[in-house]
Chain A
Amino acid sequence: MNYTFNFNVVFRNIDVFLKGLGLGLYLAVVSLTFAIIIGLIIALGAVSNHPTMKKAARIYVTVFRNTPLLILVYIIYFGLPDLGLILSKPVAFILTLSLYGAAYMTEVFRAGLESIPKGIIEAGYAIGLSKRMVMLDIRLPIMFRSVLPSMGNYLISLFKDTSLAAAIALPEITYITKRLNVESFRTFEVWIAAAFLYVVTSFLMAKGLGLLEQKWEIK
């Protein structure tokens, strides 16, 4: 086996790689934002006393947790046009990742809401707060603080999931790497570069989120 490494193609295209990284991060952050909003709404349904809403929330979570993300991407990007709904690539991908992530966020929020000690909630009622005020002023703020680490970790996970955008030719890192691989035949070099970008970015995100967690820790 004789292979001479030549990283020129990587260095020449470093701006393209970084743009791809930017797109991946953008897709992840936007999707997480929507996933949090949708997930919160569904989680409120899941912890409510309404049996139909509880059931609907459970069905949503089961369906989106047990279906592969790639199929969901295809259903939304290639399938929805059959119903006359044509979405652009970024919109279709963000929609898919948001719906997919919302299922996970629902579970996180539900667990967070259920883990709040009953005494605190009862104390709220005892001082005369309404059900809504207990939710908004007591349960949700406590829950948000306790789920911050999970939310941070999930952002990293979503960032890795943005690699699937390559399947619908959105130019994030994986797609760019595939293209450079075909153009330059520098297989080893381009994939090393891509792996390096993903690992370093995930690592830095984990470190940054760790610092934030320390800062916001409940003392």
Chain B
Amino acid sequence: MININTNISFWERIWNSRTMIIDGLSSTILVSLGAIVLGTILGVIIGLIITYGNKYVKMPFKAFVDIVRGLPLLVTIFIIYYYLDYILKSIGIVMSPMIIGIIALMIFCSAQVSELVRGALQNIPKQQIDAGRALGMRFPQILKDILLPQALVEILPPWVNSATEIVKGSTLLSLVSIAELMLVGKQLVAKHPRALAYYSLIGLIYFTINTAIELGGKALEKKISFVKK
């Protein structure tokens, strides 16, 4: 079995399947990026509602966040995948699996972000709102000029962490056969059963993406914390 050619042919195989790997990688990036951007916007809105909304308005949002945070991401993905698919089919809409994947990860991301936003906003002393009012500012203005700038700086480090969490979580989409990098890895292993080498390579790609996000986040943090002082 073992001969000198094994090594060469492994890299040759990788080279031959480069388009597959690049396609998978771009899907992974697209899905993660879409989920992070949309999930963050949704999460900030939900976080604001939970912090400043009245009792009855915030109840359903609080329930949503608690349920999503209580569920494993994989279960959220299965539920969104099966339910959305069923509901959409019964009203005659066909949605690409990729969009279903983005929606599932977006829901997970929004629950995480809303908790971060809520925590950060609650840490800001109430007097600052009063001070803003005393200066004649309206709430949207207080939010834009006083609360959000502080809260967003505060949540940057854990938010970067959530972003890597989403990239890692996107591998779970392979379990509902959504074509992304992890599924490409499985397909490669199915063709040439060298699981250790292929999965390590795929793992290395994810590791590189996440490390890049982490380093980017740290650089951004340095820049922003300078403004904060």
Contact = CB atoms under 8 A, between A and B. Distances in A.
Interface string A71-98: 1101100111111000000000000000
A82 B198 CA distance: 11
Given A70-B182, A188-B83, A160 B71 contact: yes
A171 to B, nearest CB: 15
A68 B74 contact: no
B175 A79 contact: no
Contacts of B174: 70
Interface string B163-206: 01001110110110000001001000100001111011011001
B91 interface: yes
Interface in B77-120: 78-79, 82-83, 86-87, 90-91
A6 interface: no
B74 A166 contact: yes
A163 B72 contact: yes
Nearest to A71: B203
B171 A68 contact: yes
Interface string A186-219: 0110010011001100110000000000000000
A62 B211 contact: yes
Contact of A71 (B66, B169, B171, B214): B171
A168 to B, nearest CB: 11
Contacts of B87: 1
Contacts of A68: 167-169, 171, 182, 203, 206
A191 B75 contact: yes
Contact of B214 (A66, A166, A177): A66
B206 A199 contact: no
Nearest to B161: A65
A106 interface: no
Given A71-B202, A79-B196, A83-B196, A66 B210 contact: yes
Q: Report the contact-size class of chain B (Cβ under 8 Å from the partner).
A: 35 or more
Contacts of A79: 195-197, 199-200
Interface string A146-169: 000000000000001111101100
A18 B198 CA distance: 36
Contacts of A62: 211
Contacts of A74: 185, 195, 199
A59 to B, nearest CB: 11
B71 A198 contact: yes
A174 interface: yes
B82 A187 contact: yes
Interface in A165-185: 166-167, 174, 177-178, 181
A154 to B, nearest CB: 14
B175 A167 contact: yes
Nearest to B86: A187
A203 B194 CA distance: 41
A144 B122 CA distance: 28
A49 interface: no
B68 to A, nearest CB: 9
A149 to B, nearest CB: 15
Given A62-B211, A81-B195, A191-B83, A70 B171 contact: yes
A69 interface: yes
A123 interface: no
11 contacts: A62-B211, A68-B171, A68-B182, A79-B196, A163-B74, A164-B74, A166-B74, A191-B79, A194-B75, A199-B66, A199-B70
Interface of A: 1, 62-63, 65-72, 74-75, 78-83, 160-164, 166-167, 174, 177-178, 181, 187-188, 191, 194-195, 198-199, 202-203
Interface of B: 66-67, 70-75, 78-79, 82-83, 86-87, 90-91, 164, 167-169, 171-172, 174-175, 182, 185, 189, 194-197, 199-200, 202-203, 206-207, 210-211, 214
